[in-house]
Chain A
Amino acid sequence: MADFIQLLVAGLATGGIYALVAIGFTLLWQTSQTINFAQGEFVMLPAFFMLGAMSVLGLPFWGAVVVGILVAALVLGVLFKRLVVDPMLHHGVLPLAIATMALSLFLKEAVKDFYSAEAQPFPPLAADVNVSFLGAAVSLQSLIVVAIAIGAVVALQLFLNNTQTGRRMQATAQNPTVARILGIPVERMILLAFVINAVLAALASALVTPIYLAKFSNGEYLGIAAFIAAIVGGFNQVRGAILGGLLLGVVDNFAAAYLSAQYRAAIPLVLLIVVILFRPQGLLGRVEERTV
């Protein structure tokens, strides 16, 4: 039982991080048909903003996290939208997706060249201790990750459902033409979605980098995992991305412990194939009608 709880908490911590990144996939897809293949790099990069804020500005860790999130909102939110998405979007979904692949390579190589190819130390979120949780000894770090991820998801849901701006954003995602007809500032809503995506990715960066250390290749697996999580949960639903992320994290940890650590990396793909076969729109997804 204690093992089970340990694994569950560790799985939820991983899953919470996947969820934060996966939500961004759904936000960008819904508001602007953007599939961001640089999403993993959007998680890798803010850690370096944070390291920079600590070494250059001399800020304490949490101050650097805030600065890193703000810089990410500007660079990976506003500038990404203006410089990559806007010029490419009217060429179609595929050219834009390819442009984001190019961006992914560019960001990885840029970090390697300008910073270092070596993993950089990154401060831990908390002291490396275990605390007793429901009779099991679980790492404090994991609990903090779970708490912050849940907090961020709840805050996002409250914003989307309980504020006027949030509902206008949802309206823009569900039917942009009608949103425009009703006078919703559609462009501003889409930009907001990009900013939220960048903020969530930067937050995920602060949560995940203490585990893996800051390295240019950190985004590779994370981007794929979050992409799979979004598809499994439902690419057009924020709550689908949350479910997909948590599920993937938990299944991943349990499979490694109870089945085989060797096949661990295959588990998300098996999950993906099963879901696509039996429920192509994802667990919570809505069937999208497309005219070809």
Chain B
Amino acid sequence: MATDILTLEDVVAGYGKMTILHGTSFAVRRGAITTVIGPNGAGKSTVFKTVFGMLPARSGRILFDDAEITNMAPRELLARGISYVPQGRNIFPELSVRHNLELGAVMAPGGFDLSGRLEAAMDRFPVLRRKAAAQASTLSGGEQKMLEIARSLLLEPKLMLIDEPSIGLSPIMVNELFAILAELRGRGITVLLIEQNAKRALESSDHGIVLELGRTRIAETAEAILADPRIGQLFLGGGLVEKVPVIPGSPP
């Protein structure tokens, strides 16, 4: 088993005539938490959509578990062990909390113990048990995020893509969220995260990837990125383009 679970090689993707990813390459270490950071428009969410088959890659390759998954449909990716929690609200507002949760198991393999898995999920997230029969729209923002995360864990994925989970959450919820991500890592689940709150996210991550204008600028350990003076500069405006040469070689 390779140390990298997910690899992007020169991926080009975009919307209509607009190209967002101009040959993005990076690798994600198995069993770690990796955070993708970068200014607005760097292509962070586009990377996730492209990996998860929601947006076609125009060229390049994406590998998962050493097999090519470029432009595979979400159904196939779910069956292979990838799950995706997009930005914003991703619940079905008029279905009950329990029925929302259940929909995480659409691609369950034969012999899947649905009720057992639902029980386990509600044990881990007691609020979902308390409100199991309520309409999902009655949950608070933080509770909805918990529901989305619990739902995307139902099939025990190997890799979870989570886009900006902390947006709009209270500081207490944000702490709980990062505790959950650490717990997932403990269970051997690889987490690939996008966060606007870069500092907070990197402090809880093992690795960091800095995207700018659809290209990987830096791929390092989270610690090294936190200590890197260029990062502040990147987030305070001025890009890296003229100031720093592109790091040669392939990402670690």
Chain A residues packing against B (C-beta within 8 Å) = 164, 167-168, 170-171, 174-175, 177-185, 286
Contact = CB atoms under 8 A, between A and B. Distances in A.
Interface in B202-220: none
B94 A170 contact: yes
Contact of A182 (B54, B99, B106): B106
A183 B75 contact: yes
B14 interface: no
Contacts of A175: 90-93
Q: Which of B90, B93, B95, B103 has the most CB of A within 10 A?
A: B103
B128 to A, nearest CB: 16
Given A175-B93, A182-B107, A185-B75, 18 more contacts: A167-B103, A170-B92, A170-B94, A171-B92, A174-B92, A177-B54, A178-B92, A180-B74, A181-B84, A182-B78, A182-B104, A183-B75, A183-B79, A183-B106, A183-B107, A184-B103, A184-B106, A286-B94
B52 interface: yes
Contacts of A170: 92, 94-95
Interface residues of B, number: 21
9 contacts: A167-B103, A170-B94, A174-B92, A175-B91, A178-B90, A178-B91, A180-B74, A181-B84, A182-B106
A174 B92 CA distance: 6
A184 to B, nearest CB: 5
Grouping DSSP codes into helix (H, G, I), strand (E, B) and loop, the A interface class, with mixed when no group exceeds half, is helix
A181 B92 contact: no
Given A178-B90, A181-B54, A182-B151, A171 B95 contact: yes
Interface of B: 52, 54, 74-75, 78-79, 84, 86, 90-95, 99, 102-104, 106-107, 151
Most buried by B among A168, A171, A183, A185: A183
A178 B148 CA distance: 10
Contacts of B107: 182-183
Contacts of B79: 183
A178 B99 contact: no
A183 B94 contact: no
Contacts of A183: 74-75, 78-79, 106-107
Nearest to B78: A183
Given A168-B106, A171-B103, A181 B95 contact: no
Contacts of B75: 183, 185
Nearest to A236: B94
Contact of A181 (B86, B93, B94, B102): B86
A170 B151 CA distance: 17
A177 B86 contact: yes
B54 A174 contact: no
A178 B78 CA distance: 13
A22 to B, nearest CB: 18
A180 B92 contact: no
Nearest to B107: A183
A180 B54 contact: yes
Contacts of A184: 103, 106
A177 B90 CA distance: 9
B52 A182 contact: no
Contacts of B93: 174-175
B134 to A, nearest CB: 15
B138 to A, nearest CB: 14
Contacts of A171: 92, 95, 103
Which has the most chain A C-beta neighbours within 10 Å: B78, B94, B104, B107?
Answer: B94
B135 to A, nearest CB: 11
A171 B96 CA distance: 11
B45 to A, nearest CB: 13
